[in-house]
């Protein structure tokens, strides 16, 4: 197929010379050339009606329509009274009516005009539809690239790629054979918001360049990373019992009215973004199939441009295995500044353990065993402790093969932290507690000094 003549593109055809045959005899001062267009458009499905419109000056008294370089007019029409344009109707588009058209008009003062620019009419639906696919997927990050593959089981010499609503001409590429199919691969990118949209492809034969196939399946391309990422939260929380109701909410800045939710599938990007107007995504009564990592996107209505993805939110389904036990070493009552170890132990062979603190917005801590042999337990070290560590703790166990399916919760363990004693304010303890504790103690000393000094509190603070 490589030694066959290349099929002219629509771009080349639309840029052909303006004068053919008798047009070469146009004299200076002749009427200006008219404009020509097709309604509903230059690509018409076989059997459908369409109209070619020609419009010249207000003095036009008759219009001629020409086809495929033929000097003799194909049709003649009188102009409409109000607009001085003429319409040439084609009742049923076919392979015979496809081709290149031009028009000209006559006026009593200046005679015949030069011919219009050429208009290419293409008839579609003559050959079976090709298929269009995207690699690596339909959802592409801004700045990335995507390959659109158009293929057919029927011999096609040239493939064309069009974007719905696009102002430019179709892209074209000569076909190649691959595994018994004819195909062409179009590279799109680096991606920006303007590349988002719905694409289709066609093919034709070099013997009949104006006769095209049915359109392929529509392929939407979604561009992410155009706007700032939203945030994703779960109500009542990311730890949910099997059978309970769960709703995810996507929060974004003002002005966004379209939202999409995706569930990560391995390391691949989402294949589709199904937008909706509400930022709430009710998942209903959850089961093990709802466990996973979710992200959301925000965008604008009737647009294929989306925000960057939100931070991932892990939805953990509770109640899949027997509950583990939890204990504290050396005990559940801990002195301020000391460390404590919370131990989670399972009676069945599970290799992952999760520690959750009641009321904490943070995701549960996760520890995974390196050795799958018994005992099946993990130790979470907390500290040096402060009053912030006080509270109720629960742990869960899971299998790393199914990381989002958790056991029943352990019994609750209440961790108590005793108040600090004066001797706890040693340099060693303060350094161990970190800079924040040191700052608080220094401020306390300054305030104490300010109470007994003649200077103001501000002076003490400055000191």
**Distance set, CA 85 to CA 20, 78, 79, 170, 214 (Å):** 22, 8, 5, 28, 32
Q: What 3 state SS string does 148-209 have?
A: EEEEECCCCCEEEEEECCCCCCCEEEECEEECCEEEEEEEECCCCHHHCEEEEEEEEECCEE
What residue has token string 């509950």?
323
Find how far residue 59's CA is from the centre of its chain. 53
- Model pLDDT for residues 113-128, shown as the tens digit of each residue: 999 999 999 999 999 9
Residue 328, pLDDT above cutoff 60: yes
pLDDT band for 441, please (50, 70, 90 cuts).
very low
Residue 309, pLDDT above cutoff 50: yes
Instruction: Please report the pLDDT score of residue 254 as a whole number.
Output: 86
> What is the helix (H) or strand (E) element at residue 436, kind and residue range?
helix 435-452
pLDDT band for 440, please (50, 70, 90 cuts).
very low
Alpha helices in 43-113 (DSSP H): none
Residue 437, pLDDT above cutoff 80: no
Closest among 377, 358, 359 to 369, alpha carbons compared:
377
Residue 422, pLDDT above cutoff 80: no
Residue 166, pLDDT above cutoff 50: yes
Lowest model confidence (mean pLDDT) among 25-34, 90-99, 157-166, 320-329: 25-34
What residue has token string 């899971």?
398
Instruction: Please report the pLDDT score of residue 67 as a whole number.
Output: 95
* Distance from C-alpha of 411 to C-alpha of 381, rounded to nearest angstrom: 19
* Distance from C-alpha of 112 to C-alpha of 268, rounded to nearest angstrom: 63
- Model pLDDT for residues 259-300, shown as the tens digit of each residue: 999 998 655 567 778 889 999 999 999 999 999 999 999 999
Instruction: Please report the pLDDT score of residue 412 as a whole number.
Output: 96
- Mean per-residue pLDDT, 209-232: 95
Closest among 419, 380, 421, 414 to 397, alpha carbons compared:
380
Instruction: Please report the pLDDT score of residue 428 as a whole number.
Output: 59
- Mean per-residue pLDDT, 74-89: 90
Residue with more model confidence, 190 or 421: 190
- Mean per-residue pLDDT, 84-110: 94
Residue 83, pLDDT above cutoff 50: yes
Residue 75, pLDDT above cutoff 80: yes
- pLDDT mean across residues, the chain: 85
* Distance from C-alpha of 103 to C-alpha of 440, rounded to nearest angstrom: 88
Query: What is the percentage of the chain residues whose pLDDT exceeds 70?
Result: 83
* Distance from C-alpha of 251 to C-alpha of 276, rounded to nearest angstrom: 13
Burial of 408 (0-12, 13-18, 19+ CB in 10 A): middle
* Distance from C-alpha of 295 to C-alpha of 376, rounded to nearest angstrom: 32
Instruction: Please report the pLDDT score of residue 404 as a whole number.
Output: 95
């Amino acid at each position: 197929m490589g030694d066959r003549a290349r099929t002219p593109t629509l771009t080349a055809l639309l840029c052909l010379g303006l004068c053919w045959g008798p047009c070469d005899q146009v004299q200076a001062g002749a009427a200006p050339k008219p404009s020509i267009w097709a309604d509903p458009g230059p690509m018409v499905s076989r059997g459908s009606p369409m109209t070619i419109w020609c419009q010249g000056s207000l003095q036009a008294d008759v219009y001629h329509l020409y086809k495929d370089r033929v000097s003799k007019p194909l049709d003649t029409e009188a102009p409409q009274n109000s607009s001085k344009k003429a319409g040439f109707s084609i009742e049923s588009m076919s392979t015979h009516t496809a081709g290149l058209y031009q028009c000209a008009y006559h006026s009593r003062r200046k005679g015949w005009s030069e011919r219009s620019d050429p208009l290419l009419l293409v008839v579609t639906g003559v050959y079976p539809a090709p298929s269009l696919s995207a690699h690596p997927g339909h959802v592409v990050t801004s700045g990335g690239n995507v390959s659109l593959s158009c293929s057919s089981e029927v011999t096609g010499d040239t493939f064309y790629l069009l974007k719905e609503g696009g102002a430019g001409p179709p892209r074209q590429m000569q076909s190649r054979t691959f595994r018994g199919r004819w195909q062409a691969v179009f590279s799109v990118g680096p991606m920006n918001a303007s590349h988002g949209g719905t694409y289709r492809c066609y093919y034709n034969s070099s013997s009949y360049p104006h006769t095209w196939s049915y359109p392929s399946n529509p392929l939407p391309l979604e561009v992410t990373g155009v706007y700032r990422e939203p945030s994703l939260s779960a109500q009542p929380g990311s730890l949910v019992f099997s059978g309970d109701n769960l709703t995810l909410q996507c929060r974004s800045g003002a002005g966004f009215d379209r939202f999409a939710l995706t569930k990560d599938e391995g390391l691949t990007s989402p294949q589709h973004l199904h937008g909706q107007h509400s930022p709430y995504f009710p998942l209903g009564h959850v089961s093990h199939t709802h466990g996973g990592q979710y992200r959301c996107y925000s965008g604008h209505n009737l647009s294929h441009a989306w925000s960057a993805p939100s931070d991932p939110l892990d939805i953990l389904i509770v109640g899949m295995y027997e509950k583990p036990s939890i204990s504290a070493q050396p005990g559940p009552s801990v002195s301020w500044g000391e460390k404590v170890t919370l131990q989670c132990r399972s009676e069945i062979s599970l290799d992952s353990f999760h520690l959750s603190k009641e009321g904490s917005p943070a995701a549960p801590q996760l520890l995974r065993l390196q050795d799958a042999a018994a005992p099946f337990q993990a130790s979470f070290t907390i500290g040096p402790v402060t009053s912030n560590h006080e509270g109720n703790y629960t742990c869960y166990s899971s299998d790393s093969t199914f990381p989002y399916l958790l056991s029943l919760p352990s019994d609750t363990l209440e961790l108590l932290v005793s108040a600090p004693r004066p001797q706890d304010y040693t340099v060693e303890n303060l350094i161990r507690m970190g800079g924040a504790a040191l700052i608080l103690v220094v401020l306390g000393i300054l305030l104490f000094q300010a109470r007994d000094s003649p200077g103001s509190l501000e002076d003490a603070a400055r000191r």
